[in-house]
Structures are given as C-alpha cells and as structure tokens.
Structure 1
Amino acid sequence: MKNLLHYSGGFLSFIIFILDLFAIYEVLISNRTKGGKLLWVVLIFFFPIFGLIFYYFFSERKEHYNYQEINYSNIP
C-alpha cells in the first residue's frame, strides 16, 4: 500500500503538468495582448494548481479565440 501511494503523487503531478502545458498553449494561441498572455503564463507556471483553477474560472476564454464559422451550402 505504501508503494501505491508513493507512485500516485508522481502520477498526479504528471497530470497537472500536462494540464499546465495545455493551458499555456491555449493562452499562447489566444488573441490576448502580449501583456495578458505573459501574465497568464507566469501565473500558470509559478502556481501550477492554483493557476489552472484561476485560468479555468476567470480567464474569459471564449472571447479570445478566432472561431471561424463554417457555412455549409446544399449541393444542387
């Protein structure tokens, strides 16, 4: 049981690391200003768990992306 708990901390850290990488990538491809991008990346980098939580709840992610609407037309 002790070995299982020992490895679970490493696994959870790896999952948080992967989520941090996704969040940083999402920030870098967004339409935010350079200062806004830098602030979010620094927050996520230095505070991995709390940075992810803050980014998820307070970042207004949907307003900062280039969504392209796809218009489908009927084939005659």
Structure 2
Amino acid sequence: MGIEVGGLLGLIILIINVWAIIKVVQSGAGTGAKVLWVVLILVLPVLGLLLWFLLGPRG
C-alpha cells in the first residue's frame, strides 16, 4: 500500500544492525575489536553484519 519492499527491507536491516551493535558492545571482546566491528557494521551494513555473524566474537 504505502510501504515499498525496499523500504521495509531497509528497516529490517537497520533493526538487525542496531541489535548487532548492541551485542558487540556487550561482548567480552577488547575495546579495539569492538570499535572495529561497530565501524564495519556501520560502514558496510549488510556485508559487515554477515561478517560479524560468521567471524565475530562469541558470547
């Protein structure tokens, strides 16, 4: 109706990225690693998120 598929997909990616950044900040990783992951997620939202899921610090 008023919401396009691209807009909805963008909103979903934004929500998942915010969740991932919160998880990174709460993790036990070092400060440098946290900053690197947050920057990567912000600069490359989809690719950074996929890399974090595959290679990121484990809780």
TM-score calculated relative to the size of structure 2: 0.91
Mark the structure with the bigger radius of gyration. Answer: 1
Alignment correspondent of 2:11: 14
- State the distance in 2 between where 1:32 and 1:13 align: 28
Question: Relative contact order, CA 8 A, sep 6+: which one is greater?
Answer: 2
Runs of 4+ in 1 over 2 A off after TM superposition: none
Q: Which segments of 5 or more consecutive residues in structure 1 lack a partner in the other structure?
A: 66-76
Q: CA RMSD for the aligned pairs?
A: 1.6
Unmatched 5+ stretches in structure 2 = none
| Residues 1-76 of structure 1: pairs in structure 2 closer than 5 A | 7-61=4-58, 65=59
TM-score (norm 1): 0.72
Give distance in 2, aligned partners of 1:45 and 1:15.
Answer: 15
Relative to its length, the structure with more helix (as a share) is 2
